[in-house]
Amino acid sequence: MVITKRITLIDYSVEEIFNYFVIFEGDTVYLKPFVNHFFIDIVEGIVGKKVEVVYSDFNPFCPDCNVDMNKNGKNKHLINKVREVKKQKFLCPECNYSYVTQLGFVPKGCNYTIDVQREGLKQGLIEYKSLEKVAETINDTHGCEPTRQTVLDHQKKQSDEYLGKIETKIEEEIKEKKIDYSGVYHYDEQYGFVDGEQTIRLTLLDHETKRVLEDVVVEGSKFNKEYVENFINENLEGLPLKGIVTDGVNFYPEIIDKLGVPHQQCTFHKMQNLMKLIYKKINQNKLKIAKKEEKIEKFEAKIQKLTENQGPVKRGRINKKDKKRIKIHEKIKKLKKEIRELKTEMKKLKDENNEFKLYVDKISRMFKSKSFKTAQNRFDKLFNNLNELPDEIKTFMKRLSKNFQRSINHTKHSFLPSTNNLIESFFGITLPQHLKRKYRTIEGLNMRLRLAKIRWTQRNVLKIKA
């Protein structure tokens, strides 16, 4: 350890303070090790020319002998592989202890400054950027061109210290603001791919505070019911527990029931499942209607042409000898009949689609009921007439009947939300659709999620806006 004589700056003039950081010796400028390299441009602006810059401790003395150390040459250093400076070497005249001045803003053994090394992480805290775009931004802001691999290496090297400090500060602020867990949690998975292999993201989110309890990615081969159960149990251990919201995966009820709390299945997902069943039929009907409309247009055009071809029409019956008019008249009559039949079929298809919409509205109102009893009555009214329902609605109602009460628990327990939309929003913001296949390693994906979690917590839990 090298000991440097300390100088108190209180009551010093601006010039004396400046001289504490900078010493001029001819065309050489000596700077303290912690003076940022951007200051070099200021110095050169003052003197009006390029100068030799030497970073050096001022008045160092040997930690062993307690005597002043002598200068002993200089080492070259390329800051950000662009700006050449020198680092002063020192030698003790008594014991030959030596050292080289270390720059306070450049990690030991590196050329790139801490600011450059953290730039990728800083940008990642705002939005996703490819390594190539991060490198381009660094070139614009810092005047150096690290490779994509260098940017990645910097992120790995700086993440624990830089992000760790931010995360620690966030936890301290959460404690200070007393943002406790509410006891109502959302659980869901997000499916993705890393280097072509399926991955599963498991997430637990607090409903009221929006705090992320846990957010991890695992290989698809490891994902099963036991893994989900262990994940939920381990991360909820010791926390207040009032209820859990999930989607409709068939093994969730068994897991939640063991916890002994109300389980709400997302009604939005239920409605999505319903729409998947009927959209196919509705779209088929719409296609049939469109084709029939095209036919009607063609038939009407033919009628128009036939009418024009028969010439002036006299009132009354057609003369039996006028074979041409009789033939045209029969054709027009036949076309009009076909048009009537097509319109009847179209009406039937439209009525069928309107019926679907009517049942969708009834099922939606069932989920939006103000009380558990009302929701149950509305369900029973539909289910008791199961055989009269369209096949698609009948299939949905049979599936719904297996866990219907879990879909309306929010009407019985006011603290439960009816949907899992909060966690769906979390997924959409932190890892949108276009990024699900971007990553080549789980390590890289976890880095993305770590950055996204910090930003989510700042903006949604602590309400800190950029």
**pLDDT greater than 60 at residue 182:** yes
The phi and psi torsions of 432 (rounded to 5 degrees) equal -65, 170
* Cα distances (angstroms) measured from residue 182 to each of 111, 207, 244, 288, 415: 48, 7, 11, 52, 10
* Cα distances (angstroms) measured from residue 89 to each of 64, 242, 282: 17, 65, 81
**Which residue in 260, 294, 215, 227 sits closest to 457, CA to CA?**
215
Q: Are 256 and 244 in contact (CB under 8 A)?
A: yes
The 10s digit of each residue's pLDDT in 66-125 is 899 999 999 999 999 988 999 999 999 999 999 999 998 999 888 999 999 999 999 999
Q: Are 457 and 171 in contact (CB under 8 A)?
A: no
**pLDDT greater than 50 at residue 5:** no
**Which residue in 111, 89, 100 sits closest to 37, CA to CA?**
111
**Which residue has better confidence, 26 or 171?**
171
- Give CA torsion, residues 378, 381, 385, 388, to 10 deg: -50
Phi-psi group of 444: left, alpha or beta (phi > 0 → left; psi -120 to 50 → alpha; rest → beta): alpha
**Which residue has better confidence, 19 or 172?**
172
Summary mean pLDDT of the chain? 89
Q: What's the confidence (pLDDT) of residue 4?
A: 47
Please give the average per-residue pLDDT across 268-285, as a whole number: 93
**Which residue has better confidence, 396 or 304?**
396
Q: What's the confidence (pLDDT) of residue 331?
A: 86
- DSSP secondary structure, 197-247, as one string: EEEEEEEEEETTT--EEEEEEEEGGG-SHHHHHHHHHHHHTTS--SEEEE-
Please give the average per-residue pLDDT across 132-151, as a whole number: 91
* 59 — pLDDT class (breaks 50, 70, 90): confident
* 375 — pLDDT class (breaks 50, 70, 90): very high
DSSP SS3 for 3? strand
Helix ranges (H only) for 22-65 are 38-47
Please give the average per-residue pLDDT across 236-241, as a whole number: 96
Q: Please, what is the angle between helix 391-401 and helix 372-383, to 10°?
A: 130
- Give CA torsion, residues 76, 79, 82, 87, to 10 deg: -20
**Which residue has better confidence, 61 or 230?**
230
Instruction: State pTM to two decimals.
Output: 0.80
DSSP SS3 for 299? helix
Q: What's the confidence (pLDDT) of residue 22?
A: 79
Please give the average per-residue pLDDT across 196-212, as a whole number: 95
The 10s digit of each residue's pLDDT in 381-392 is 999 999 999 999
Task: Give kind and range of the element (H or E) at residue 128.
Answer: none
Q: What's the confidence (pLDDT) of residue 6?
A: 46
Q: What's the confidence (pLDDT) of residue 235?
A: 97
Please give the average per-residue pLDDT across 151-161, as a whole number: 91
Domain spanning 184-266+419-461 has what CATH number?
A: 3.30.420.10
**pLDDT greater than 50 at residue 401:** yes
How would you classify the pairing of strands 60-61 and 52-55?
A: unpaired
How would you classify the pairing of strands 52-55 and 28-31?
A: parallel
Cα separation, 168 vs 32, in Å, equals 30
The 10s digit of each residue's pLDDT in 290-342 is 999 999 999 999 988 888 776 665 665 666 666 766 777 788 889 999 999 99
Q: What's the confidence (pLDDT) of residue 304?
A: 86
Pair of tokens at residue 443:
């390590």
**Which residue has better confidence, 434 or 3?**
434
What's the CA angle centered on 106, arms 71 and 123, to 5 degrees?
Answer: 165
**pLDDT greater than 50 at residue 359:** yes
